């Protein structure tokens, strides 16, 4: 560690669209910004993997709001939804169109808006079915070239520096060295929790870092039980090969079970375009009953409309003409660190944006193609609000390194234990008794990890610590919520499951 403290006006942790938007907004205010990210390439960010697109309000914000509320099963915060829909058009116009010049797909009359599940109209801007990378790469390059922003890649945040309810910075690790960075404000934009489950659409290293750090520092978290599973992850030999965008079903793709039968009309009146939680549970049930589920893309010109997905199928040896094998996979956490309409947490000078935050927009279930928009809108608002505070260095926590290195497979083995518990007990469907068992196992796991953290410092150990804290919060919130709603679906494993009925 250096003798002179390292300071920055705003420290952003995470390089997805939310973190980039926060860095941009703070830099526009004239602040010096440091952006720390674990990623070493664009693919390390969840934003890069976003397929479907980014929804905007167009000329019908009220209809957009209604769709968000309906998808959430009425649990979204109406005030938060207002913030999203009222700022959607301006944020996209300002950043994506005017600043970054993103070339969204066009048709003869302008932008080629598309529709996905639970949307009542075409309002989604997209680039084929790989929108995320077409937004993220130019955004990252733009921020990297900005004079007011310094990017630290392959850098992990291990712990927040705080005192008496205020956050002063974070302990950052790079190449085995840990350094305190002090900031006027800290913005957490660390993404999701994919590594907590064995099957996920997230990139590697999504270990719930921001949520774990914030919770350990005393920040309020909310809605942690609402974990969204995407119903159509292409799955080969039990592993996720790639995500099949909801836009495919929006354009006419049909879900068929192992007997070749289309089944979604039996589960919901909107069939394949029902909310994600409904489709995910239906796909799970049909896989268990008939052995498999495939996405039939014969009703559309798949190779013409989705060339990137057709290419991914070919790369993985999937003959899409025979149907794409799909299964539910962990996709998005609707809850997280509780924030207000400017991304402010319950700790002074600490902000959270993107998937690690809980804005209230998603409630118990997220509407398709709203995650990039939420990250953009809240990132801009948080970055602007975070600017203007002076860093005040304080005594940093001492992260000890006095015991021998961990056994080679320690973190890996503990992670496998954690993901197994989450998959078996805190998945698409949850039994109250299983949730209690999960909490008991996760408490023991957290205790074991805490014991090692007291005397050892490494990125893998702290990632495991953050993951164990976040997993325990998910299980605890799920156990405390006795109402099945949205992505939180309670079942009694001792009873026969009810037959599905049309909604």
CA 85, CA 377: separation in Å to the nearest integer?
9
Question: Which pLDDT score is estimated for 124?
Answer: 93
Question: Distance (Å, rounded) from C-alpha 277 to C-alpha 296?
Answer: 20
Confidence band, pLDDT 50/70/90 cuts, at residue 283: very high
Structure letter (DSSP) for residue 330: E
Q: Pairing between strand 54-55 and 156-163?
A: unpaired
Across the range 111-122, mean pLDDT stands at 88
Q: Which residues contact 25 (CB under 8 A, 6 or more apart)?
A: 379, 380, 381, 382, 383, 384, 387
Measuring CA to CA, which residue among 109, 134, 118 is closest to residue 53?
Answer: 134
Q: How far apart are CA 471 and CA 442, in angstroms?
A: 7
Phi, psi of 99 (to 5 degrees): -80, -45
Percent pLDDT > 70 in the chain is: 93
Distance (Å) of CA 89 to CA 54, 69, 96, 291? 11, 19, 10, 44
Residue 225 and residue 425: Cα distance in Å, rounded? 12
Question: Edge-to-edge strand order for the sheet containing 221-222?
Answer: 221-222, 336-338, 357-358
Evaluate whether 189 touches 343 at the Cβ level (below 8 Å).
no
CA separation for the pair 488, 486 (Å, rounded): 5
* 299 phi, psi to nearest 5 deg: -70, -10
**In this predicted model, what pLDDT tens digit does every residue of 444-464 receive, in sequence order?**
999 999 988 888 888 999 999
- Domains and their CATH numbers in the chain: 7-225+334-386 (3.50.50.60), 231-329 (3.90.700.10), 409-480 (1.20.58.100)
Higher per-residue confidence, 404 vs 94: 94
Average pLDDT over residues 165-171: 97
229 within 8 A of 241, measured Cβ to Cβ: no
Are 295 and 255 in contact by the 8 Å Cβ rule? The answer is yes
pLDDT at residue 168 above 90?
yes
User: What tokens appear for 299 in the block?
Assistant: 């009703």
Among 397, 438, 386, CA closest to 417? 438
Integer Cα distance of 385 and 255 in angstroms = 45
pLDDT at residue 408 tops 70: no
Residue 501 has what pLDDT? 36
Sorting pLDDT into bands at 50, 70 and 90, what band is 497? very low
Instruction: Report yes or no: 159 and 461 within 8 Å, Cβ to Cβ.
Output: no
Mean pLDDT of 6-15: 97
**d(C-alpha 279, C-alpha 116), whole Å:** 13
What was the pLDDT predicted at 500? 39
Whether the pLDDT of residue 292 is over 90: the answer is yes
Helix (H) or strand (E) holding 383: helix 371-386
Instruction: Give the range among 38-52, 55-69, 313-327 with minimum mean pLDDT.
Output: 38-52
**Whether the predicted pLDDT of 424 surpasses 80:** yes
Q: Tell me the backbone φ, ψ of residue 166, rounded to 5 degrees.
A: -120, 140
Residue range 362-388, pLDDT digits in tens: 999 999 899 999 999 999 999 999 999
C-alpha–C-alpha distance, residues 205 and 202, integer Å: 9
Can you tell me the distance from the alpha carbon of 227 to that of 103, in angstroms, rounded to the nearest whole number? 32
- Give yes or no for a contact between 37 and 44, defined as CB atoms under 8 angstroms apart: yes
> CB under 8 Å to 36, separation ≥6 — which residues?
11, 12, 13, 14, 152, 155, 156, 157, 170, 172, 181
- Whether the per-residue pLDDT at 42 is higher than 60: the answer is no
Phi, psi at 316, each rounded to 5°? -100, 10
What is the residue-wise DSSP string for 29-45?
A: TT--EEEE-S-SSGGGS
DSSP-derived secondary structure letter, 289: H
Q: What are phi and psi of 197, to 5 degrees?
A: -130, 145
Could you report the per-residue pLDDT of 214-263, keeping only the tens digit for each? Answer: 999 999 999 999 999 999 999 999 899 999 988 899 889 999 999 999 99
Q: What is the pLDDT of residue 116?
A: 82
DSSP 96: I
Higher pLDDT, 502 or 313: 313
Kindly report the average pLDDT of the chain as a whole number.
92
Report the range of poorest mean pLDDT among 47-51, 299-303, 412-416.
47-51
- Put simply, whether the predicted model's pTM sits higher than 0.85 gets the answer yes
Given a cut of 90, whether residue 8 has pLDDT beyond it is yes
Residues taking part in catalysis: 276
Pairwise CA distance, residues 198 & 107, whole Å: 40
Q: What is the token pair recorded at 300?
A: 């559309």
| SS3 assignment, position 310 | helix
Question: In the prediction, which pLDDT does 416 show?
Answer: 94
How many CB atoms neighbour CB 346 within 10 A? 16
- Report the pLDDT averaged over residues 37-65: 77
Measure Cα distances from 12 to 1, 16, 378, 391 in Å: 20, 11, 13, 14
- 206/383 Cα distance (integer angstroms): 22
State both tokens at 265.
């009309």
């Amino acid at each position: 560690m250096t003798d002179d403290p390292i300071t920055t006006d705003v420290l952003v942790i995470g390089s997805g669209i939310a973190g980039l938007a926060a860095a941009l907004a703070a830099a526009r205010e004239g602040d010096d910004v440091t952006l720390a990210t674990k990623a070493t390439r664009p693919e390390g960010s969840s934003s890069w993997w976003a397929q479907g697109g980014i929804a905007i309000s167009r000329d019908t914000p009220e209809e957009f709001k209604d769709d968000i509320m309906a998808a959430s099963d009425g649990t979204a915060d109406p005030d938060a939804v207002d913030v999203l829909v009222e700022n959607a058009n301006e944020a996209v116009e300002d950043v994506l169109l005017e600043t970054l010049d993103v070339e969204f797909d066009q048709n003869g009359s302008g932008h080629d808006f598309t529709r996905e599940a639970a949307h009542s109209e075409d309002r989604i801007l997209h680039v084929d079915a790989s929108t995320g990378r077409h937004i993220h790469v130019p955004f990252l390059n733009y921020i990297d070239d900005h004079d007011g922003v310094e990017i630290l890649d392959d850098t992990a945040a291990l712990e927040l520096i705080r005192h008496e309810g205020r956050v002063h910075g974070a302990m950052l690790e790079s190449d085995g060295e840990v350094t305190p960075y002090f900031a006027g404000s800290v913005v957490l934009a660390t993404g999701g929790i994919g590594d907590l489950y064995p099957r996920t659409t997230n990139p590697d290293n999504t270990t719930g870092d921001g949520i774990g750090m914030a919770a350990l520092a005393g920040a309020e978290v909310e809605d942690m039980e609402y974990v969204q599973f995407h119903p159509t992850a292409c799955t080969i030999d039990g592993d996720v090969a790639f995500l099949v965008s909801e836009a495919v079903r929006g354009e006419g793709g049909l879900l068929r079970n192992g007997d070749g039968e289309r089944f979604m009309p039996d589960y919901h009146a909107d069939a394949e375009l029902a909310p994600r939680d409904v489709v995910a549970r239906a796909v799970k049930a049909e896989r268990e009953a008939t052995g498999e589920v495939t996405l039939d893309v014969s009703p559309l010109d798949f190779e013409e409309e989705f060339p990137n997905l057709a290419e991914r199928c070919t790369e993985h040896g999937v003959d899409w003409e025979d149907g794409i094998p799909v299964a539910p996979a962990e996709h998005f956490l609707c809850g997280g660190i509780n924030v207000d309409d400017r991304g402010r947490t319950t700790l002074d000078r600490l902000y959270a944006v993107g998937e690690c935050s809980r804005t209230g927009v998603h409630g118990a279930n997220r509407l398709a193609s709203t995650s990039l928009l939420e990250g953009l809108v809240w990132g801009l608002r948080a970055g602007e609000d975070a600017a203007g505070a002076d860093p005040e260095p304080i005594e940093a926590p001492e992260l000890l390194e006095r015991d021998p290195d961990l056994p080679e497979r320690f973190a890996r083995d503990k992670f496998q234990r954690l993901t197994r518990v989450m998959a078996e007990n805190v998945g698409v469907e949850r039994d109250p008794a299983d949730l209690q068992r999960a909490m008991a196992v996760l408490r023991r796991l957290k205790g074991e990890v805490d014991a090692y953290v007291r005397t050892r410092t490494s990125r893998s150990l702290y990632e495991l610590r953050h993951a164990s804290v976040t997993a325990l919060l998910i299980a605890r919130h799920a156990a405390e919520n006795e109402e099945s709603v949205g992505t939180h679906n309670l079942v009694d494993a001792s009873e026969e499951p009810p037959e599905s009925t049309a909604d």
